[in-house]
Structure 1
Amino acid sequence: MKVFSKLALMFVFVASSAVVGVNAQTITGEVSNVVLEKEVQSKILRLPYYEVFDFISFRIDGDTVILDGKVRNATNRGAAEAAVKRIAGVEKVQNNIELLNVGGFDDRIRRSLLTSFSRTGSLSRYLWPVNPSVRLIVDRGHVTLEGYVANEGDLNLANIAARTVPGVFSVTNNLKVDSKRAG
């Protein structure tokens, strides 16, 4: 009888260990994905020439990081890929970042857009931090607003500020309201 109870007890212990191991792997997998996302975001925000006129987003698919977005210079495109490749757990980086045209027409719009945001009420605060929460993307006269603002009023105000800039053909407002992530 003692042998049978010891055997049953050992079976219960082994079975419960296996269940705990499976749960631990699931939790660790989820945690490591969150950690990986934070690490990729941190590396992108630390790029030396990443500015208000650049926007880089990413997706994680297993051990592959897919970079998207638009940047003004090739340095940011290459630096983003190199920085993400150095992260532990990343095996492959797919770089879909587009280079924006650098020229008089778009640069004039960029300067005017930045001035418009700086002079428009509550919008200037989004441009103060080193990594602003609002990104102003200008591509051949078409403006895309990316990032986060604190409230619906600022979202609408940003749209108005962008539409009043001379030379702008269209405005796509991809801003999201999130007071925690907004500058």
Structure 2
Amino acid sequence: MPVTGMASQKQLQGPGLHRGHTTALIADEVRHQLVTLPYYNVFDWLEAEVLPDDTVVLGGQVTRPTLKSDAEARVRSLESVAKVENKIEVLPLSTMDDELRLATYRAIFNYNSPLFQYSVRAVPPIHIIVKKVK
């Protein structure tokens, strides 16, 4: 649900505000917190679902255990969030997985590739998730 601006707690509690609108504002706040995590990159995928009781369910896959805990802490710090369920999976450490991630990244975002323009964005629109290469 795209929302153009950030809302303050006062706006979230305003009279006449529809429940769906409040959920959209919380979703926007949560998205902002997740995409601005310092180590969130093209090899991670984070998603969130805002439930009607203002509970946020976090999901996705990350390459660093600290990213999982940082995401939960950021979302938990939002005043409009009642509860956080962290279902983010930390991908196993694997040299083979890392090599495949880098090879895939180089193939997709090669300088001569039409997708190169997407590699230089702060929030990557394309994510590469690799798990348990054999």
TM norm structure 1 = 0.61
Q: Deviations over 1:128-178 (max 9, x none)?
A: 11111111001012xxxxxxxxxxxxxxxxxxxxxxxxxxx7xxxxxxxxx
Larger radius of gyration: 1
Find the residue that maps to 1:127 and give its secondary structure.
helix
Count residues in correspondence. 118
Picking from 86, 90, 97, the partner of 1:99 is 90
For 2:30, give the aligned amino acid: V
Structure 2 gaps, min length 5: 1-14
Q: Which structure carries more relative contact order (alpha carbon 8 Å, separation 6+)?
A: 2
Picking from 52, 55, 60, the partner of 1:64 is 55
1:40 aligns with 2:30: yes
| Match in the other structure for 1:114 | 105
Moved more, 74-83 or 101-110: 101-110
Question: Which has a greater percent of helix?
Answer: 1
Question: Which has a greater percent of strand?
Answer: 1
1:29 aligns with 2:49: no
Per-residue deviation, 1:34: 1.2
Runs of 4+ that moved beyond 6 A: none
- Quote the sequence identity (%): 30
TM norm structure 2 = 0.82
Structure 1 gaps, min length 5: 1-23, 142-168, 170-183
